[in-house]
Amino acid sequence: MQMPQNPEVGHSIEIDGIRTNYHDLGEGHPVIMIHGSGPGVSGFVNWRLAMPELARHCRVIVPDMLGFGYSDRAADGAYSAARWVAQAVGLMDALGLEQTDIVGNSFGGALALMLAIQHPRRVRRLVLMGAAGVEFELTPGLDAVWGYEPSMDNMRRIMDIFAFDRSRITEDIVRSRYQASIQPGAQEAFSAMFPAPRQRWVHALASPEEAIRALPHETLVIHGREDRVIPLSNSLRLCALIPRAQLHVYGHCGHWTQIEHAGRFARLVRDFLTE
């Protein structure tokens, strides 16, 4: 009997020696969606609810970043924002994409911001959702996420931190994310990314404010009002710094805007990218 295919596994492409798993669906102007840094995350898990709607209007490309999901782990155990940004630009090059829109969630928002700063002509429009990318005091929620040690109880606690409405956190979700977090090499990679003390990784993901002020791109900034991982003040600051930015804040929403307000999020991003 044929086993069902894992929906998290898409296409595979090699980028500077990194075997990268990615999804590619729809037609039209391309948009790359960069996931966050939670344990057991993949591009598909992060964006699965938004992908179908956006793919009706755009070409949606969703990679697993180095060390996450079903992409390679770093052979030398070294992870950095520079390597992740280089991987995203390498994916664009490998797919023949001169310019794309970029959507980034949390950690992925920080990478999207860096990519736009370093390669402004490669980015058309920018969406930053619950984004890092500016200096802030490490939250207890983010410290817990980055300090995750594999167990069902720990994964349940992490999922509770992400969501405002904890009734959304089913045992199936917890079990699925836990199983993903114990795939071969997954925890070794994850624990190498953000070891304590973790405030330094907030700094490592922050871009200089003068560079953010110089961004020419139309930018949509999105945040959940009750986010306990990345503070709402981050998005207020980004909106104040980026000249052509607009800000949308969802109430009764934690760090999972794209899941807790899935339909609204997909329509908002669709309208912004296609206006």
Catalytic sites, residue numbers:
106, 227, 255
In terms of Cα–Cα distance, which of 90, 96, 38, 98 is closest to 63? 90
DSSP code of residue 168: G
Would you say the C-alpha torsion 184, 204, 244, 237 has a positive or negative sign?
positive
Please list, in sequence order, all residues whose beta carbon lies within 8 angstroms of the beta carbon of residue 263, skipping any fewer than 6 positions away: 53
Task: Please list the alpha-helical segments (H only) found in the chain.
Answer: 43-47, 51-55, 81-94, 107-118, 140-146, 152-162, 171-181, 186-193, 199-204, 209-213, 232-241, 257-260, 262-274
8 A C-beta contact, residue 177 and residue 103: no
Which class for 226: exposed (0-12), middle (13-18), buried (19 or more C-beta within 10 A)? middle
Beta bridge partners of residue 104, listed in sequence order: 34, 128
CA distance 167 to 91: 37
